[in-house]
Amino acid sequence: QSIELYRLSPYCRALVPKEQKLYIEKLIAIDSDDPFLFPSELWKSSGFPNLSEHDVFQYCVAKHSKSTGLQLCAYKAIRDAEQYVSCGWVKDIFRVTLSNSIVIVSCRVHHSQSIRKSLLNPWAAIKRDMSIICSSCDCEAGLGGVCLHVGAMLYKIIAVNNLPCTVSCTK
C-alpha cells in the first residue's frame, strides 16, 4: 500500500511506472498537485514571469539531466520554438502562482507532426529568479521536459512580455 502525496491526473496515472515516477519527481520538485488538475478559475492570462532567451537556453541546452548527468543540449527546442510562436501555433497561455511563489505556466500547442492531431499541453514551473525548475508535455518526448512544445511555450512567454502596449501605459 502506498501513500499519495499529491493529487495525480489521469495523464500521470496512465504512465508506465518508470515514467510515472519521473513525473511524480517533478511534482515533488514544485511541491504541488499535478498542474493538469488545477481548476480553470485559478489560471490567469497575464502576469507571466519575465523570462529571457538566456533563461530558456540555460534550461533547454545547458541544464544537466538528473538521470544521465549529461547536458540536455535540446537545441531543436530552441531552434524551432520561435517559429512555432511566430506561426501562431502556441495557443491559450495561462499561469498559476503557487503558495510557494513558483509560477506554473501552461498552454496548448499544435502537434509537431500533424496540424490535425489534438493540441498538446505543456507546462513549466518557474522560480522568482527566472530559473525553470522543471517542465512536462503530454507529447511522446514530453517527460524529458525539453521538447519542442515546452520550448515554444517558453518563447511565447518572452513574446507576451514584449508585446507593445496597446492601452494607455503609465510608468
Q: Where are the domains of the chain?
A: 40-162
Q: List pLDDT tens digits, range 105-164.
A: 999 999 876 777 889 999 999 999 999 999 999 988 777 778 889 999 999 999 999 876
Arithmetic mean of pLDDT over the chain: 86
Structure confidence at residue 152 (pLDDT): 94
Q: Which three cell numbers stand for residue 58?
A: 540555460
Backbone angles phi, psi at 108, to 5 degrees: -125, 135
Between CA 27 and CA 19 the distance in angstroms is 13
Backbone angles phi, psi at 36, to 5 degrees: -65, -15
